[in-house]
């Protein structure tokens, strides 16, 4: 799909950010529910999105889109990109609020509990599915949404996200099942 002018590209990426951020939130909530049998709103924000997944999705879309017919390359690069993003995000969150939202200390080949081999492989597989399967579908779907509704949805989602971000900058979403004390181990965020 050819994305039109800069403003249309902006809305394309805003909606993509929220779709991937919501998908990541849903993945983590369902994974936590399946193992712990309790609903926990995972992440720093209150809304149903995890910005690290949204930004990761944007990075993969922007950097790997041209490789969508080369899944092995996409897997290797997705694994590397997402692992670096996850490590830096963990470091930032802990330095900013003094809390860990995830800790892989008990997992094989972890690096300071911030990333681990299993997580990297899962992100590589997810990134491959995102770039090679979902992105072409999203591009077609996006082209079918009227311009007016793209703008309205994008602006609405951004306003909600900004308000949620302002609130969470002062009072991040923390607590049992959301954040972990040093030394606790979880595959979840």
Q: What is the pLDDT of residues 81-101, one digit of tens each?
A: 999 999 999 999 999 998 898
* Domains of the chain, residue spans: 6-152
For range 156-169, the mean pLDDT = 96
CA distances from 164 to 8, 72, 83, 171 (A): 25, 37, 26, 10
Alpha-carbon distances, residue 44 vs 74, 101, 181 (angstroms): 28, 8, 15
In whole numbers, what is the pLDDT of the chain averaged over residues? 91
d(CA 164, CA 151): 20
157-167 b/e (C-beta count within 10 Å ≥ 16 → b): beeebeebeee
Among 70, 34, 45, which Cα is nearest to 167's?
Answer: 45
Could you tell me the pTM of the whole model? Answer: 0.90
pLDDT of residue 185: 40
């Amino acid at each position: 799909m050819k994305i039109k002018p800069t403003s249309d590209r902006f809305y394309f990426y805003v909606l993509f950010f929220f779709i991937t951020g919501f998908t990541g939130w849903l993945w983590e909530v369902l994974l936590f529910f399946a193992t712990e049998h309790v609903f926990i709103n995972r992440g720093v924000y209150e809304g149903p999105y995890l910005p690290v997944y949204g930004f990761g999705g944007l990075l993969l879309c922007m950097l790997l889109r041209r490789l969508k017919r080369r899944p092995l390359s996409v897997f290797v690069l997705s694994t590397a990109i997402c692992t670096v993003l996850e490590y830096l995000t963990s470091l930032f969150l802990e330095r900013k609020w003094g809390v860990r939202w995830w800790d892989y200390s008990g997992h094989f080949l972890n690096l300071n509990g911030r990333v681990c081999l299993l997580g990297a492989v899962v992100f590589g597989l997810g990134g491959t599915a995102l770039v090679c399967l979902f992105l072409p579908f999203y591009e077609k779907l996006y082209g079918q949404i009227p311009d007016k509704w793209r703008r309205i949805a994008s602006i609405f989602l951004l306003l909600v996200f900004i308000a949620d971000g302002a609130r969470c900058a002062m009072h991040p979403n923390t607590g049992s099942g959301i954040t972990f004390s040093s030394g606790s181990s979880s595959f979840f965020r």
